[in-house]
Structures are given as structure tokens and as C-alpha cells.
Amino acid sequence: MAENINNRRSWMIVPAHDPAAGTSYGEIKPDVVVLDLEYSVPPKAKEAARAGLGALVKKIGDSQTAVFVRIDRDTRWADVRAAMHRGITGIVFPGPDAPEEVAELDELITAMERERGIDVGATELVLMLESAKGFWHADAIAQASPRVSALGVGRIDLTMRLGPVPQDEFRLGRFLMTRALVAARMLGKQPLGALWRPGSRGGVASQPVTAKAAAEARLMGFTGCLCATPEQVMPVNDGFSSV
Amino acid sequence: MNNRVARVSMFVTPTNPRFIDKAWTRGGDVYILDIEDSIAPAEKERCRTLIRESIQKANKGGASIYVRINKPFVDADLPYAVWPGVDRIMLPKTESADDLRHAHDIISRLEKERGIPVGSIELYPMIESTLGAVNIHDLLTAVPRKLSSMGGAGGYDMAMNLGIEMFASFDQYAWPVAYVALAAMALDIEATGGVFVPNTSGRVDQGDQAATQAAALHAAGVHHSGALHPNFIQPLVQGLSATTDEISWANKVIAEFDRLTDAGESIGMLDGKVVDKYEYDRALRTLEWAAACAAKDAYKARAMHRAKQEQPA
């Protein structure tokens, strides 16, 4: 595991099928590269994205940059098999609902570590909570595997259909962030999340909006978040850096 | 009509002819026949005997009917509350799974005796204390009966229990409201949650409050509200229905996402907005909600028409 997991501020999403996936992070220098098999990969490119992961993981891993693969919940077994190559730092699992799902994935990762000659137990697991079930069982989910190194708040406004409230936040947003934060801190995991405001969040958030979302999350206790675009890496790094 | 559309519910007091005889003309989705806090102790016995005939009075305009009973008198109240035409029983101050099991058992027996399909009357545990909030997950898994959850958990009794000031400029109820709502969502139980709108006036009868409340709930994605005043009913019914703009946008999003899917894509843009599986899902739900509202409104209109024809000139 990394020296201090809370030093990983920016987790840059890179679509795994993007021809520039192996080079685009170089100048941007995110703390973590997250090769994506999920949201940013269209169905027609999914097979090619999986097939290219071996080379990408090795290349990015060789450059001493932490490299994760974000799997798709619905196809998580095949995605983990495609992702596990020497050089991988860990798996990002969006939307776990129950501890059993995490334990099952842990076993699959162990099997793949043996098969691919990776140190058994070395692969981390990052859990991004996105469902009511996931948040309700946050503590148990985060304890379901010793691999879990970070617990994050995913796209809750979209996945849980939480609209804006008059306080310029998403309904239940602050509560759910606190729930993830408490579980993460209690268990010594890195808390991941940003305080996105309605109107401009995720992939369409501008740099100033992103910097504010990160800075506010830092005040709440979070130490890093996913960056949907390369432009968000700098403001996220700034927002999560202590001043 | 046990339609899921309950945009606005209002308490009516069966003991007051002025309210119970006229309530239906206001066009609410739900009327709650109250035996609890709006009824003075000396009137409760008389109130119980009025529930059965009040159902037919209050649902004349096509509204669903709930009955709110008393926590200390569950055994005595339920035989007067479980009748054909009652959609839900509201159980105030619910604090434990045993509270729910007890009510469930009595309701099941009464349903059987009275020719009501067993299990068809829903239970609505009202969470009005910290203990009830903390026990919410146990509560909501206690009985094999359809439940609705009071995602509110933010009323007068909760304020008393927490020792907080009710009318504050910030959300005093944030924790219990969110905790209860999350448990319900995690169990796929419909939660009648609220959205905090600052009200430091202490008044609950101001005309513009209804529109403000409706707009806040609508934006947050909450489809239910309570009216404390009959003047709130129409603004809430209208404010919580899907708008024509929302419906036409939903149709465009669905068409665009279908096109993307056929092309093997998953993310697109439409009028400067992202179209993806989340927007597609939202659009489908908008259309479902619009159809449910339309069905409820048509049902109410037919009932209202019949009732007006039957009225003595």
C-alpha cells in the first residue's frame, strides 16, 4: 500500500479505449490514474478497452504513477479479469450494495493475483458508494475486504436521484458525505469525495467550480476525489492541498 | 383509489361537520381521517364511531383515505379504523418493531373479519422521536405488509424530543430526516420525505408558502407533501405534478438516448446538456410520474363530476 494514502488528491479518469490513454496523464500529473471501463467507455469500445489494459497498466505502473482500473458494476467479474496485470495499484468499484459483493470481488482479485504473478494481497480496492443500500451498509462494506484503502462518495445525485434543495446542495448530500467520511475515518481508509453543487458538477464542472467543490470537501475531512476531466486535476490538487 | 399519487395529503377532523362534509371539494389527493392530535380527548370516542361514514364523505372527490390512530389506544382505535376504502393506517410515534407487529396483527385480523384482502391496507409508521429514528431499519423490516415511511421525522414531537427550536433558519432535523429517508431508500420503501425550507415566522397558513414548498419539493425530486391549510392543496397538487416542459424534454432525451444506444454510444449532448443513462432513467421516471398524475387527476375529475351531480340542488 502507498506511503500515505491521504496524499492521493486527484484521481483522473482516463477512458481506457482512448488512444491517448497511455500518454495523456504525463503532463497533467494527477496523483492517481484511473483507467475507466465504466461510464466513459461506450459499449462498442468496451472489448477493445479491456484488451488494451495489460499494456496500459504496465506502462503507467512503470512510470511510478499509481494506476487503478474502474470497473463496471454490471460486468465487474469480466472487468476485474481484464484489469489484473502486473503494475496495477488497485480496482475502483463503483456502487457496491452489500459486503458480500466486496468479499466476492476480493476473492476474484486474489485468484487473479495468483494467476498473473502479482503479490497476493497487494491490489487495493477503492469503493465508491452510489446507492442507498451502499450508504446504509457503509461500515460493513468497507470492512468486507482488507484490500479496501479508500471509501468514496460517487455520483449520488444521479444514481440516487437526489435533486437540488434550497441550500444550493443536493438533497441528503451532506448527510451521505458525512456517513462515508465517518466510516472511512473510523476504519483508517482514505475518504474520497467533493462537495458538488447543483448546476455544475462532474464532467461539466468548470475549473473554479471544481476547485471550490474540492476545497469545501477538504474542510469537511475529505482528502481527494475523482476528476472526470483532465482539466479538473489542477483545481482538485489545489483544493485538497493544505494552506 | 389506492393510487401511488399522493401529492398532497390533509388532515380532516371527522367530528367537525364543517370540515368533513366539505373537504372533498378541495381536490386533495389524500385525506387523513384523524383520531389523534386534532381530536380532543373527550371527543375521541365519538370520533371513532364516525370514521366509517367519514370515508365515503372524504373520498367523494376521488381522494385516497388514510386514518391516523392514537399510539396509546391502538387496540381500541383499530376496530374503528380498518374498513374497506381505507388505504393506509398511520401509526403515530412508532418507536419499535413491536409497535408495528402489534398493529399489523390486529389489522390482519380485522381485514379477514371484514372481507378486506389481508395485507392490502398499508401501514405508515410515523417517526416522531429519536428512538423511532434510530430503530428505523428494524421498524421497516418488522412486518410482511406494505409500508410507507415517514421520511419527514421532522415534526413537533421530534422537536420536543430533541429539545430543539422548531422554527429556525437552518435545518434542525437534518440528521433524523436523512437517516430515516436513507433507511427507507435502502429497503426500497417509499419515503414521504421533506425538504427544508426556512420558516422563522412560526406560521403555516401563508398563501405563498405553498408555492415555495411545492417548488422546493419538486426540484428535489420529492412527490409528497402535507397541507396544513386547505388553501395549500391546489398549489401543491399543481406544483408537484410533472410539467409539460418536463414531459417534452423527457421525450427528447429518450429519443436521443435510443439513437445513441443504436450507434453503440452511451453519452451525447442535447441543447448543451449531457444525455446519458442517468438522464434517460430520469426521463423515463418523469413520464411514469406524469402518467400516474394524469390517471389520478382523471379519476378525481370523474368522481368530482359524479358527486356534484348527486348533490341536492
Among candidate residues B25, B4, B29, the one with its CA nearest the CA of residue B226: B29
Rounded mean pLDDT of chain A?
94
Residue A202 has pLDDT above 90, yes or no: no
Cβ contacts of B267 on chain A, cutoff 8 Å: 39-40, 42
Closest Cβ opposite residue B195 in set A41, A155, A171:
A171
Residue A225's identity, in one-letter code, is C
Residue appearing with cell numbers 511510478: A64
pLDDT one-digit tens code per residue, B264-277: 999 999 998 999 99
- Give the span between the Cα atoms of A52 and B214, in whole angstroms: 50
- Global pTM reads 0.94
What pLDDT is attached to residue A229? 93
Dihedral of alpha carbons A110, A113, A114, A119, sign: negative
Architecture label for domain B9-239: Alpha-Beta Barrel (3.20)
**What are the distances in angstroms from CA B126 to CA A108, B50, B70?**
44, 23, 11
Any CB–CB contact under 8 A between A176 and chain B?
A: yes
Cβ(A21)–Cβ(A55) under 8 Å?
A: no
Cβ contacts of B283 on chain A, cutoff 8 Å: none
Residue appearing with cell numbers 476485474: A80
Residue A191 has pLDDT above 90, yes or no: yes
Cβ contacts of A43 on chain B, cutoff 8 Å: 261, 264-266
At CA B42, angle to CA B38 and CA B45, rounded to 5?
85
What pLDDT is attached to residue B204? 65
Residue B291 has pLDDT above 70, yes or no: yes
C-alpha cell at A122: 497487494
- Give the span between the Cα atoms of B145 and B132, in whole angstroms: 19
Region at B69 (left for phi over 0; alpha for psi -120 to 50; beta for the rest): beta
Beta strands in chain A (DSSP E): 10-15, 32-36, 66-70, 90-94, 124-129, 148-153, 164-165, 169-170, 190-192, 225-227
- Summarize the confidence of residues A161-184 as an average pLDDT: 95
Cβ contacts of A176 on chain B, cutoff 8 Å: 178, 182
Residue B155 has pLDDT above 90, yes or no: no
Any CB–CB contact under 8 A between B258 and chain A?
A: no
> Which residues touch A99 (CB under 8 Å, ≥6 apart)?
A137, A140, A141, A143, A144
Cβ(A162)–Cβ(A172) under 8 Å?
A: yes
Residue B166 has pLDDT above 90, yes or no: no
pLDDT one-digit tens code per residue, A106-135: 999 999 999 999 999 999 999 999 999 999
Residue A2 has pLDDT above 50, yes or no: no
CB contact under 8 A, A155 and B278: yes
Residue A81 has pLDDT above 60, yes or no: yes
Q: Which residues pair with B67 in a beta bridge?
A: B33, B89
* ipTM exceeding the 0.90 mark: yes
pLDDT band at B211 (very low <50, low <70, confident <90, very high): confident
What pLDDT is attached to residue A1? 44
Residue A3 has pLDDT above 70, yes or no: no
Mutant choice from B138, B182, B246, B281 vs A, greatest count of A C-beta within 10 A: B182
**Kind and range of the H or E run holding A175:** helix A173-187
pLDDT band at A243 (very low <50, low <70, confident <90, very high): low
Any CB–CB contact under 8 A between B195 and chain A?
A: yes
Beta strands in B184-301 (DSSP E): 190-191, 226-227, 268-270, 273-275
Any CB–CB contact under 8 A between A19 and chain B?
A: no
Kindly list the domain boundaries of chain A, sorted by start residue. 5-240
Among candidate residues A98, A87, A108, A105, the one with its CA nearest the CA of residue A35: A87
- Summarize the confidence of residues B30-49 as an average pLDDT: 96
What pLDDT is attached to residue B45? 96
**What are the distances in angstroms from CA B198 to CA A165, B209, B215?**
11, 10, 13
Closest Cβ opposite residue B182 in set A132, A161, A164:
A132
Any CB–CB contact under 8 A between A48 and chain B?
A: no
Any CB–CB contact under 8 A between B175 and chain A?
A: yes
**DSSP secondary structure letters along A96-151:** --SHHHHHHHHHHHHHHHHHHTPPTT--EEEEEE-SHHHHHTHHHHHTS-TTEEEE
Closest Cβ opposite residue A166 in set B197, B222, B282:
B197
> Which residues touch A125 (CB under 8 Å, ≥6 apart)?
A90, A91, A93, A102, A105, A106, A109, A145, A147, A148, A149
Any CB–CB contact under 8 A between A105 and chain B?
A: no
Kindly list the domain boundaries of chain B, sorted by start residue. 9-239, 244-310
* Chain-centre distance for alpha carbon A6: 13
pLDDT band at A91 (very low <50, low <70, confident <90, very high): very high
Residue A6 has pLDDT above 80, yes or no: no
Q: Which CATH code fits A5-240?
A: 3.20.20.60
Residue A4 has pLDDT above 80, yes or no: no
Any CB–CB contact under 8 A between B113 and chain A?
A: no
Cβ contacts of B179 on chain A, cutoff 8 Å: 175
